[in-house]
Structure 1
Amino acid sequence: MQDWKDKYTSYLHKQQASSPQPASGSQLTGNLKTDIQELLARLGENGDLVVRDFQLFGTHQAAMIFFSSLVNTEQVREHVLKPLMARPSEHPGMPDQAAGMTHYIWSTVVQVTQGTTTADLSRLPPAAVKGDLILLIDGVPEALHLDMRQIEMRGVEQPQTEQVIRGPREGYVEKLENNLSLLRYRLQSTDFRIEISPLGTRTQSRVALCYIDSLADSALVAEAMRRISMIHTDGILDAGYIEQFIEDQPLSPFPQVQSTERPDKTVAALLEGRVAILVDGSPFALIVPALFNQFFQTMDDYTERFIMGSLIRIIRLIALACSLFFPALYVSVISFNPELLPTDFAVAISGGRAGVPFPAVVEVLIMEVSMEVLREATIRLPQMIGGALSIVGVLVIGQAAVGAGLASPITVVIVALTTIGSFATPAYNAAIALRMLRFPLIILSGMFGLYGGMIGTILILNHLLFLESFGVPYMSPFIPGKWRDLKDTLVRAPLWWMRRRPSFLHTQDSDRLPRSVPSRAIDQILRQGDEKNE
């Protein structure tokens, strides 16, 4: 084996070559040596590329070409190489001529579930880099490539970004087949459709489009396919790449595509008539269309009883409003309208701010920026160190800032409540959008008081009303409002009351529950009437 110095010298010689050798025709010639040389020239020199010559059934020269980093060598030895090197007496039906050898091997010898034959040489390199084993036989102008791909992946674990109190503990992994099996496990329907196609000129990442054929609007499925087909890039490394290409308004801070690590959340979206997009190598699924209220809902809202789910959702929305508007309201009242506060409270605040040299808006901005830096540092550090840093930052730095006169105690309390409120937002990308918009609201409130805060709020609401996600208004079902769709917004109605799917998705079947079956409330009324009649 060459050392790195020899490899470096060889690489320089190749780079300094005057002109590359022209590629031969795209069809296999049937000459084993020529076909191997042409295939290796197209694949290039790779340390994990294996060329295994052997005697096929003791009568024909053959060779296997594969990447050892993508193929399970034990399965190759047991299910491919060992049967192909058997004696001719073990295969009485073996053809005498080499012409029908590939068909005989595929139908009788190898124990592989997926494979195909081809005479086109240009199709073999892409198959090899995807994990296929290429089988070439001397005298046969046709190759057999077998799907032997096996990549080591981490096991199915609990999602780190979407933990629940009550519900499944399974999350997506990086392997597409495992993720699709998790969906199939929960959605055992013949109407469940999965469209898989490669994307990315260099990575050739497999992208899966999932939907329920009898539920999803055909226009929505066609639009999702059209947007994915319009992506022309050299690499797709994560589902986030596709999200940035298919969203309606890339300059908006609000996410218009929902991402999730949970298979149960994906299945729930599919049952509503939405479309899911998964990428091989990414533990996240994309759900479209995505609306504003989706980013503040969790699976706990549905696995718990509706009273508890509604209460938790209301608390979450209150925390959302506090994280966005609380600092701006504090700055505007302190700087322009202190008469709105009770006298005792205003005196206490003014006493706490007596030694602070900055105006309220600068003080709040300094504390907010410091908190954002601390939050980012906590996320990027290892988990064991991150927890300790967050405690040190909150206790030590906050107390030191108050003691040094850089901030007042009430400002520290306001910023702390704002940060805690932002943690209550389930979706990380939606929480970032609120954190971004908090700063312009603080600046407007520091410049114009309550009037500036109101102007900023109106601009945010107008922007939300302007947004769409795959043709669906972003603020649906609030605007336009429809009673049946409002049952799952600010509060979560009982499951037996939400009989129909959201109307804005234009599903082919709008009924969740059969109309002939009475709801729980109607059933109780009928029972009470029967008891009175008796």
Structure 2
Amino acid sequence: MSKRKAPKKQQQPPVSDQALKELQNTKISGNLEETVTCIDGLLGMNADFLKRRFHVFGQYPAVMFYYSSLTNSTMINTEILKPLMYPPPSLEGQSIEDDRLKSILINDSLYHSEGQMVSSIASLVEGILRGETVIVVDKLDEAFLVRTRNLDKRAIDQPATEQVIRGPREGFIEMLETNISLLRYRLPTTDFRIETMEIGRRSKSKVAICYMDGITNPDLLKEVNKRLSNIDIDAVLDSGYLEQYIEDNHLSPFPQVQYTERPDKVVANLLEGRVAILVDGSPLALVVPTVFSQFYQTVEDYTERFVLMSAIRMARLVALVFSLVFPALYVAVISFNPELIPTEFAVAVAGGRAGVPFPAIIEVLVIEISMEVLREATIRLPQQVGGALSIVGVLVVGQAAVAAGFSSPITVVIIALTTIGSFATPAYNAALALRLLRFPLIIMAGIFGLYGIMIGLILIMNHLLSLKSFGVPYMSPYVPGNFQGMKDLLIRGPLWWMSERPSFLQPLEKNRLGPEAETGYDMLKTLHKQTENVLDPMNVQKSKGASANGESTSDHNDPSRGNTD
């Protein structure tokens, strides 16, 4: 170890990256007290930092360092401390030389599968900060670094934001190791690969990059690694931090990175050729690249039959359009083109608006803003009162506004349908973008009428066409057009239709099916040929009819039936 004098404990500043950089090239010299002084000077000011002195085999002085808040004390006592204090049974009564001590400790004494030898002081300190245990033995130029991290975690539960009727009930939690295990047992293949890196100078958050070798395009993987490696911030507390750094257009309201807390959804995207990013401490995984069609698709679309889910998806698309243009369309028709409304309905609308002192655009904007405030308050309030507030806000406040002449009944109905439509969009971040774009559309409709709505929709569509996610056009597979991809765009086609992976991801292996089936129809025909109607009543009746006509049955000469005469 270098001769740099360790500062006194009471004068040592808090641990920082600068302190570790100064010790980056400092090695363990074999002097136990010098190493203890250095580590204790860096970490000894913490209440949960423990230092335990003992003798290895009752002969060699040693010190063990760990954080009690990050480690499992039972594991330390039974798997580390006890076997190190007593020699192995095979060596009892024998003298252990100094040159054999290191080999005996790592090969015969340590009862732990994840142990390694480290010679750098900085590596030892980083290991302690991660929840590992360090054992420094006198006269050894390397210390033992043993993984003993153990944190309390919540149980694996159903995802709160992506609930389904038919499908798995498991969701990611905050622990990265648990999240990786949820993916690993769904993909028991050697092609499933995981790369890790640390991001954040202070938090040193562990980030896992998951992909399928042989399917994911290597250029995509290289680009993901490059964007993540360029991030240099103090801390990464959630995967949302990474999303804001790696997206292509930072000013767009539309999300270019999809997040999910469903392991089955991540696995489905990995098998298509995408890359998943998981962060230690976050229950939400990022999936890249992303296209717009992913935000109105759900896991349930593929677990139910295609005819039913195609109808549900179309209803979801109608709700998506409602949530964007319905209030603006109402303002434009009421303000500029009331002749488009049927006569009977126009009389009812005029009667409802007779006592309203505001023009339609002001009325709609006020009610829309009120609904947004009510929605935000419902989310932020405690769960016990949140539901009650939503009911009171919708029923009481809405009815009171109509009774007071502040708003017309038709306006309340329009805003209610719009709000319900935004709730029907599966992805919260996409629904948030549509809610944000409603307001400029309402303003343009109040100024220019139907022309303003068309201008706004054209601008939105042009923006969508200009977006890219890791080089993939945002409106793929609609633009640029791809027939294979359109089978899963507006409707959910049968599974045997979608025999190829999305072409816009440029996967290395395009076909989803086995080598014997060229298309999904080939597999379907093979399955139908092998199908037998074993319980068909007509077959039973034919068999009985043949016996009644005196025809010989197949088991007539079966000796096991015996003589029935």
Alignment partner, residue 108 of structure 2: 108
Comparing 104-113 with 193-202, greater Cα deviation is found at 104-113
Q: Runs of 5+ in structure 1 lacking a partner?
A: 1-9, 529-534
Does residue 32 in structure 1 map to residue 6 in structure 2? Answer: no
Query: What is the alpha-carbon distance in structure 1 between the residues aligned to residue 94 and residue 507 of structure 2?
Result: 55
On the 8 A contact 2:444/2:456 being kept in 1, the answer is: yes
Comparing 93-102 with 411-420, greater Cα deviation is found at 93-102
Q: TM-score, normalised by structure 1?
A: 0.93
Counterpart AA for 1:519: G
Say if 1:527 and 1:277 are closer, same or farther in 2 by CA, change over 3 A: closer
User: In the TM superposition, what is the alpha-carbon distance from 1:111 to its structure 2 partner?
Assistant: 1.7
Does residue 120 in structure 1 map to residue 120 in structure 2? Answer: yes
Query: What is the alpha-carbon distance in structure 2 between the residues aligned to residue 267 and residue 526 of structure 1?
Result: 26
Alignment partner, residue 465 of structure 1: 465
Query: What is the alpha-carbon distance in structure 2 between the residues aligned to residue 14 and residue 478 of structure 1?
Result: 61
User: In the TM superposition, what is the alpha-carbon distance from 1:519 to its structure 2 partner?
Assistant: 3.4
Query: What is the alpha-carbon distance in structure 1 between the residues aligned to residue 154 and residue 528 of structure 2?
Result: 53
User: In the TM superposition, what is the alpha-carbon distance from 1:90 to its structure 2 partner?
Assistant: 5.9
Query: What is the alpha-carbon distance in structure 1 between the residues aligned to residue 365 and residue 93 of structure 2?
Result: 82
Counterpart AA for 1:362: I
CA deviations 1:52-86 (Å, max 9, x no partner) are 00111011110100001111000100111111111
On the 8 A contact 1:95/1:104 being kept in 2, the answer is: no
Alignment partner, residue 417 of structure 1: 417
Does residue 402 in structure 1 map to residue 402 in structure 2? Answer: yes
Query: What is the alpha-carbon distance in structure 2 between the residues aligned to residue 89 and residue 523 of structure 1?
Result: 64
Q: TM-score, normalised by structure 2?
A: 0.88
User: In the TM superposition, what is the alpha-carbon distance from 1:524 to its structure 2 partner?
Assistant: 5.5
Query: What is the alpha-carbon distance in structure 2 between the residues aligned to residue 363 and residue 516 of structure 1?
Result: 63
Question: Within 5 Å, which residues of 2 pair with 1:253-268?
Answer: 253-268=253-268
- 3-state SS of paired residue (1:420): helix
Counterpart AA for 2:478: F
**Highest CA radius of gyration, 1 or 2?**
2
Say if 1:171 and 1:94 are closer, same or farther in 2 by CA, change over 3 A: farther
Counterpart AA for 1:376: E
On the 8 A contact 2:197/2:207 being kept in 1, the answer is: yes
Query: What is the alpha-carbon distance in structure 1 between the residues aligned to residue 431 and residue 400 of structure 2?
Result: 28
Counterpart AA for 2:456: G
On the 8 A contact 1:58/1:88 being kept in 2, the answer is: no
User: In the TM superposition, what is the alpha-carbon distance from 1:104 to its structure 2 partner?
Assistant: 2.0
Counterpart AA for 1:438: R
Alignment partner, residue 563 of structure 2: none
Q: Runs of 5+ in structure 2 lacking a partner?
A: 1-8, 14-18, 530-565
Counterpart AA for 1:405: G
Say if 1:525 and 1:350 are closer, same or farther in 2 by CA, change over 3 A: farther
CA deviations 1:418-468 (Å, max 9, x no partner) are 000000011111110000000000001011111111111100000000000
User: In the TM superposition, what is the alpha-carbon distance from 1:94 to its structure 2 partner?
Assistant: 7.4
User: In the TM superposition, what is the alpha-carbon distance from 1:229 to its structure 2 partner?
Assistant: 0.5
Query: What is the alpha-carbon distance in structure 1 between the residues aligned to residue 88 and residue 484 of structure 2?
Result: 72
On the 8 A contact 2:88/2:108 being kept in 1, the answer is: no
- 3-state SS of paired residue (1:384): helix
Alignment partner, residue 352 of structure 1: 352
Comparing 225-234 with 117-126, greater Cα deviation is found at 117-126
Counterpart AA for 1:281: G
Question: Within 5 Å, which residues of 2 pair with 1:377-392?
Answer: 377-392=377-392
CA deviations 1:86-135 (Å, max 9, x no partner) are 15766349772334423321211112121211221121111110111100
Alignment partner, residue 3 of structure 1: none
Query: What is the alpha-carbon distance in structure 2 between the residues aligned to residue 218 and residue 435 of structure 1?
Result: 37
Comparing 105-114 with 171-180, greater Cα deviation is found at 105-114
User: In the TM superposition, what is the alpha-carbon distance from 1:384 to its structure 2 partner?
Assistant: 2.1
Q: Percent of counterpart pairs with the same letter? A: 55
Counterpart AA for 1:367: I
Say if 1:144 and 1:527 are closer, same or farther in 2 by CA, change over 3 A: closer
Comparing 107-116 with 216-225, greater Cα deviation is found at 107-116
On the 8 A contact 2:87/2:109 being kept in 1, the answer is: no
Query: What is the alpha-carbon distance in structure 2 between the residues aligned to residue 41 and residue 93 of structure 1?
Result: 38
On the 8 A contact 2:496/2:520 being kept in 1, the answer is: yes
Does residue 432 in structure 1 map to residue 432 in structure 2? Answer: yes
Counterpart AA for 1:511: N
Comparing 136-145 with 60-69, greater Cα deviation is found at 136-145
Query: What is the alpha-carbon distance in structure 2 between the residues aligned to residue 252 and residue 136 of structure 1?
Result: 53
Alignment partner, residue 164 of structure 2: 164
Alignment partner, residue 520 of structure 2: 519
Counterpart AA for 2:289: P
Alignment partner, residue 508 of structure 2: 508
Alignment partner, residue 143 of structure 1: 143
Query: What is the alpha-carbon distance in structure 1 between the residues aligned to residue 395 and residue 208 of structure 2?
Result: 47
Comparing 123-132 with 206-215, greater Cα deviation is found at 123-132
Alignment partner, residue 241 of structure 1: 241
Alignment partner, residue 532 of structure 1: none
- 3-state SS of paired residue (1:494): coil
Counterpart AA for 2:409: P
Query: What is the alpha-carbon distance in structure 1 between the residues aligned to residue 417 and residue 218 of structure 2?
Result: 45
Query: What is the alpha-carbon distance in structure 1 between the residues aligned to residue 423 and residue 485 of structure 2?
Result: 27
Alignment partner, residue 220 of structure 1: 220
User: In the TM superposition, what is the alpha-carbon distance from 1:526 to its structure 2 partner?
Assistant: 11
- 3-state SS of paired residue (2:185): helix
CA deviations 1:9-30 (Å, max 9, x no partner) are x98x778xxxx9x977711121
On the 8 A contact 1:88/1:94 being kept in 2, the answer is: no
Say if 1:369 and 1:43 are closer, same or farther in 2 by CA, change over 3 A: same
Query: What is the alpha-carbon distance in structure 1 between the residues aligned to residue 197 and residue 99 of structure 2?
Result: 32
Alignment partner, residue 332 of structure 2: 332
Query: What is the alpha-carbon distance in structure 2 between the residues aligned to residue 57 and residue 333 of structure 1?
Result: 89
Counterpart AA for 2:416: A
Counterpart AA for 2:486: L
Query: What is the alpha-carbon distance in structure 2 between the residues aligned to residue 475 and residue 114 of structure 1?
Result: 47
Query: What is the alpha-carbon distance in structure 2 between the residues aligned to residue 23 and residue 206 of structure 1?
Result: 23
Alignment partner, residue 129 of structure 1: 129
Query: What is the alpha-carbon distance in structure 1 between the residues aligned to residue 280 and residue 159 of structure 2?
Result: 17
On the 8 A contact 1:95/1:101 being kept in 2, the answer is: no
Comparing 467-476 with 24-33, greater Cα deviation is found at 24-33
Query: What is the alpha-carbon distance in structure 2 between the residues aligned to residue 522 and residue 58 of structure 1?
Result: 70
Counterpart AA for 1:507: P
Query: What is the alpha-carbon distance in structure 2 between the residues aligned to residue 94 and residue 371 of structure 1?
Result: 80
On the 8 A contact 1:30/1:140 being kept in 2, the answer is: yes
- 3-state SS of paired residue (1:186): coil
User: In the TM superposition, what is the alpha-carbon distance from 1:496 to its structure 2 partner?
Assistant: 1.3
On the 8 A contact 1:257/1:290 being kept in 2, the answer is: yes
Counterpart AA for 1:283: P
Counterpart AA for 1:226: K
Query: What is the alpha-carbon distance in structure 1 between the residues aligned to residue 436 and residue 335 of structure 2?
Result: 22
Query: What is the alpha-carbon distance in structure 1 between the residues aligned to residue 160 and residue 404 of structure 2?
Result: 38
User: In the TM superposition, what is the alpha-carbon distance from 1:196 to its structure 2 partner?
Assistant: 0.9
On the 8 A contact 1:476/1:504 being kept in 2, the answer is: yes
On the 8 A contact 2:258/2:286 being kept in 1, the answer is: yes
User: In the TM superposition, what is the alpha-carbon distance from 1:522 to its structure 2 partner?
Assistant: 8.3
